[in-house]
Structure 1
Amino acid sequence: MKHQDTFDDQEADDIKVSVNDFIIKATAVTLKQMPDVNASWDGEACRQLQSIDISIAVATDRGLITPIIKDVAAKGIKEIAASAKALAKKARDGKLLPEEYQGGSFSISNLGMFGISDFTAVINPPQACILAVGRARAELKLVEDEEGNEKLEQHQLVTVTLSSDGRVVDDELASKFLETLKANIENPIRLALC
């Protein structure tokens, strides 16, 4: 199943992180708020997972690998950024340990740095979901100021697409997940409070 949404990409005050680090944190907060999405299919039944361990897709000379940032909900954005960078380097150097790429509860694949606006990613079993993240792009939006006057403002938009295993995350739950993720990203203060 494919679910897609577009949202404003805003950066938290005085924290310099990549769009991807911000999305990883927002996804972890959303999974914490919606634990039914933090689940996997064990071959016979759905199993809700306790820890929010997010796999991030990394392209290497040997193909795609998904190292795991463990217990993401408990980490700050800077810690997530440092973990993602270190794991990506280990992946490219071929030095990941099995426990650093096997398992995980949810995957994120970001092709934005390659100029891709939107795409659909393939689920990494036994995980139930993968979030495909496109590039950030500027868009003009008509907004009303406090006096009721309309003006054009530039906003950064990112398109994300959620692929989900319908046995675990049905269309309704997937849609609610994207709505909550969008709200979390558009209101960065929510990320600091979780």
Structure 2
Amino acid sequence: MWDVVVTNVKRVIAERLLQSKQTVSQYYLTVQCEVDTMLELHSNNNSKARDGEYKISVNDFVINAAAAALRKVPEGNAQWMGDKIRMYHAADISIAVQTEQGLITLIVKDADRKGLKERTSDVKELATKARENALASKEFMGSTFTISNLGMFGVSNLSAIVNPPQAAILVVGKSEQRVVPDESEPSGFGTKTFMNVLLSSEHRLVGGAVGAQWLSQVRSCLKDPVNIIM
């Protein structure tokens, strides 16, 4: 038997998670997103990347889609302040990253105003700082929205906990190929790749219909990301 010292980071995370479960009126919505075009763009871009260039990850496309959706459905980019709702012009998106010091969220500032490659560069640099325990407070505190991608660990679905006072958190599951009807194939069937994404929302900020609209925007952006990657 042994004891593990609770670090300040772990203590803060525990306090916020408990606060969220006790005080936030959370609900959950899930959609399946067709991602074949996104994965093709991902593969083509990285195959052409020169030495020293950052390669774009699937998570970068997810950040891209979430940022575009927050611009179109701004209710998701808000915070509950008790006696008022605070709306934000810029989408400062937190990305959950596991480090030796525990789970930490890195903030991509103005994510809705940057191109895909610029956001990719931001995430890579912040992740390096996080692993070196060299993040400034403004680089992991004060975001307006959170994304957690567990698909890389083989997870399909997760009901994540909203990070108060934010409106919502988006969870991304793994991509899976499925058989679907396809009249262009002799057999009448083909395969497409789908990714599960789940939105946990604060009902006082994001009602069910608004949450559905926001997820619809994400699904559209992931299915056809060409027009929003610049």
If the length of structure 1 is used for normalisation, what is the TM-score? Answer: 0.91
The answer to whether the aligner puts 1:118 opposite 2:118 as a matched pair is no
Amino acid at match of 2:162: I
**Partner secondary structure for residue 144 of structure 1:** coil
Amino acid at match of 1:60: T
What is the Cα deviation at residue 144 of structure 1? 2.2
* Cα distance in 2 for residues equivalent to 1:89 and 1:36: 32
Residue 212 of structure 2 is matched in structure 1 by: 175
The answer to whether the aligner puts 1:57 opposite 2:83 as a matched pair is no
Among 24, 27, 32, the residue aligned to 2:71 = 32
Among 106, 125, 130, the residue aligned to 1:91 = 130
What is the Cα deviation at residue 151 of structure 1? 3.5
The answer to whether the aligner puts 1:20 opposite 2:59 as a matched pair is yes
* Cα distance in 2 for residues equivalent to 1:181 and 1:106: 14
* CA RMSD, Structure 1 to Structure 2 (Å): 1.7
What is the Cα deviation at residue 181 of structure 1? 1.1
Residue 226 of structure 2 is matched in structure 1 by: 189
Amino acid at match of 1:49: Y
Among 99, 108, 115, the residue aligned to 2:147 = 108
Conservation of the 8 A alpha-carbon contact between 2:64 and 2:229: no
**Partner secondary structure for residue 174 of structure 2:** coil
**Partner secondary structure for residue 168 of structure 1:** coil
After superposing on structure 2, the runs of 4+ consecutive aligned residues of structure 1 that deviate more than 4 Å are none
- Tell which structure's C-alpha radius of gyration is larger: 2
Q: Deviations over 1:55-106 (max 9, x none)?
A: 0000111211111000111211122222112212211221110000111111
Amino acid at match of 2:223: E
User: How many residues are matched?
Assistant: 191
Provide structure 1 residue ranges, at least 5 long, that are not aligned to the other structure. Answer: none
What is the Cα deviation at residue 150 of structure 1? 5.8
**Partner secondary structure for residue 57 of structure 1:** strand
Conservation of the 8 A alpha-carbon contact between 1:46 and 1:167: no
After superposing the two structures, state which structure 1 stretch, 27-36 or 182-191, moved more.
182-191
Q: Deviations over 1:94-129 (max 9, x none)?
A: 111000011111100011111111111111111111
Larger helix share, 1 or 2: 2
Among 161, 165, 190, the residue aligned to 2:198 = 161
Percent identity over the alignment? 37
Conservation of the 8 A alpha-carbon contact between 2:93 and 2:147: yes
Amino acid at match of 2:209: E
Among 139, 164, 180, the residue aligned to 1:141 = 180
If the length of structure 2 is used for normalisation, what is the TM-score? Answer: 0.78
Provide structure 2 residue ranges, at least 5 long, that are not aligned to the other structure. Answer: 1-26, 47-55
* Cα distance in 1 for residues equivalent to 2:178 and 2:228: 24
**Partner secondary structure for residue 139 of structure 1:** strand
Q: Deviations over 1:32-55 (max 9, x none)?
A: 111121111123221111111100
Conservation of the 8 A alpha-carbon contact between 1:142 and 1:150: no
Amino acid at match of 2:165: P
**Partner secondary structure for residue 185 of structure 1:** helix
* Cα distance in 1 for residues equivalent to 2:197 and 2:102: 23
